[in-house]
Amino acid sequence: MIDTAKLNSYAEGIGLTLGQAQLEAFDLYAQMLVEWNQKINLTAITQPEEIVVKHFLDSLMLLSVVSPMQGARLVDVGTGAGFPSVPVKIARPDLELTLLDSLNKRILFLKELSDALGQQNHCVHIRAEEAGRAPAYREQHDLATARAVAHLRELSEYCLPLVRVGGRFAALKGGQVEREIEESQKAIRELGGKIAEIRQFSLPDGSARTIVVIEKISQTLTKYPRTHAKIAKYPLI
């Protein structure tokens, strides 16, 4: 379905080497994404070239910014159709992946996708703020990630409670994030984090992207994360 040679070329351009089996896994992923999208709303991006660039390459860019240790525990918050974490695990099969989403239909897709790709992922139907208060997930991960439209301030409250001290939270954002980062500084500090790196780049189609990496330097206070309603109504500003 997709042009695997082009995907391989893009991956090499950011320092990743994909074997034939991995390229075939990406092709299967694209096929399943399009098939399932006819039944449930997973993505507005369904053209093969766009899937390669805006889903697969965009996700893999995470590995050009952070290099998780061998066997690291990665949690993907509001993962949707599995971005960015499932493409990352295709490239780094050693990672232990937990996929969180509040919509059960997406979790059903992710379970079938994980089985088809041979990935033993933990696919969990749960809201991020509920996971952040649950002992099974709270401060249990080396890396949290989210590719979401929510403000970094709110994303930090959803994601940092899931990260162990010394771990990191990587937020995949669009191009214009300077003001958003400034507005999030207090929340990040309050939640036990510190901005470690801000990396900006462009995709082959010209789309601007930013990855904000936040290091977890202290435990998150037990009062966080709050409920979704309180996070929305009373942002940490």
Residue 53 counted as domain residue: no
Contact 196, 147 (CB under 8 A): no
Residue 55 counted as domain residue: no
| Measured distance CA(196)–CA(13) in Å, rounded | 24
C-alpha distances out from residue 173 to 76, 150, 212, Å: 14, 9, 8
Residue 54 counted as domain residue: no
CATH number of the domain that residue 216 is part of: 3.40.50.150
Residue 43 counted as domain residue: no
Residue 174 belongs to what domain range? 69-233
Residue 94 counted as domain residue: yes
Helix (H, G, I), strand (E, B) or coil at 198: strand
| Measured distance CA(101)–CA(79) in Å, rounded | 6
User: Locate tokens 């994030």: which residue?
Assistant: 177
Q: Which residues contact 193 (CB under 8 A, 6 or more apart)?
A: 156, 160, 169, 214, 215, 216, 217
Residue 184 counted as domain residue: yes
Whole-number pLDDT of residue 175: 87
In the structure encoding, which two tokens stand for residue 138, read together? 């709270």
**Cβ atoms within 10 Å, residue 187:** 22
Give which of 187, 180, 230, 190 is closest to 210, Cα–Cα: 180
Residue 10 counted as domain residue: no
Q: List, in sequence order, the alpha helices (H) in the chain.
A: 4-13, 20-37, 48-50, 58-60, 85-91, 104-117, 128-133, 152-159, 178-190, 228-233
Tens-digit pLDDT profile for the chain (237 aa)? 999 999 999 999 999 999 999 999 999 999 999 999 999 999 999 999 999 999 999 999 999 999 999 999 999 999 999 999 999 999 999 999 999 999 999 999 999 999 999 999 999 999 999 999 999 999 999 999 999 879 999 999 999 999 999 999 999 999 889 999 999 999 999 999 999 999 999 999 999 999 999 999 999 999 999 999 999 999 998
Count structural domains, the chain.
1
Whole-number pLDDT of residue 148: 80
Residue 129 counted as domain residue: yes
The length of the chain in residues reads 237
C-alpha distances out from residue 153 to 129, 227, 234, Å: 14, 14, 11
